[in-house]
């Protein structure tokens, strides 16, 4: 399957967090996606659009409209969105029904800047999944691919699970 340029939309979340001290004070920093994909020697063309830098608990309905409109207006048909995990499913639901696009949301449970982060694996998996999946909206986390309408985050085990 041939896929043209992949659009990567960054919205913030843990994947881009920068921690300043032992008390866990943080801010959402600049996205590390470009660096991460270059270090992985990704040769598939991609374009990164840094839409916002928010913790997902701060993403509101207006932000979701902005994300949705960005996807609708994009010339690319294959889109990866990095997003915080706490409200990822709400944003995925908002994107359902956009025709002609394969949309994969992913994030991480630990910042990409941490050595033991799941970010690299999740982004790599999302990057591959968006090229292989049919049109629709998906969440890729914890080594699994979920359809957007059949997933939730189980905070008790810190994983995404099928409904």
Per domain, the residue ranges of the chain are 6-151
What architecture is domain 6-151? 3-Layer(aba) Sandwich (3.40)
pTM listed for this prediction: 0.91
What is the per-residue pLDDT across 88-135, written as a single tens digit (0 to 9) for each?
A: 999 999 999 999 999 999 999 877 777 778 888 999 999 999 999 999
Instruction: Give the span between the Cα atoms of 6 and 26, in whole angstroms.
Output: 30
* pLDDT range class, residue 27, cuts 50, 70, 90: low
Q: Provide the pLDDT for residue 128.
A: 97
For residue 45, the Cα-to-chain-centroid distance in whole angstroms is 17
DSSP-derived letter for residue 151 is: E
CA atoms within 13 A on the CB side of 2: 1
């Amino acid at each position: 399957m041939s896929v043209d340029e992949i659009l990567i939309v960054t919205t913030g979340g843990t994947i881009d967090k920068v921690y300043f001290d032992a008390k866990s004070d943080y801010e959402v920093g600049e996205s590390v996606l470009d660096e991460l994909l270059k270090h992985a020697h990704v040769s598939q063309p991609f374009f990164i659009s840094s839409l916002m830098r928010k913790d997902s608990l701060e993403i509101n309905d207006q932000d979701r409209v902005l994300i949705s409109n960005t996807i609708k207006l994009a010339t690319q048909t294959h889109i990866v969105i990095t997003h915080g995990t706490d409200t990822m499913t709400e944003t995925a639901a908002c994107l359902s029904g956009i025709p002609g696009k394969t949309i994969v949301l992913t994030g991480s449970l630990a910042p990409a800047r941490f050595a033991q982060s799941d970010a690299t694996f999740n982004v790599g998996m999302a990057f591959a999944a968006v090229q292989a999946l049919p049109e629709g909206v998906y969440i890729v986390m914890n080594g699994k691919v979920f359809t957007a309408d059949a997933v939730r985050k189980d905070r008790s085990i810190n994983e995404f699970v099928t409904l």
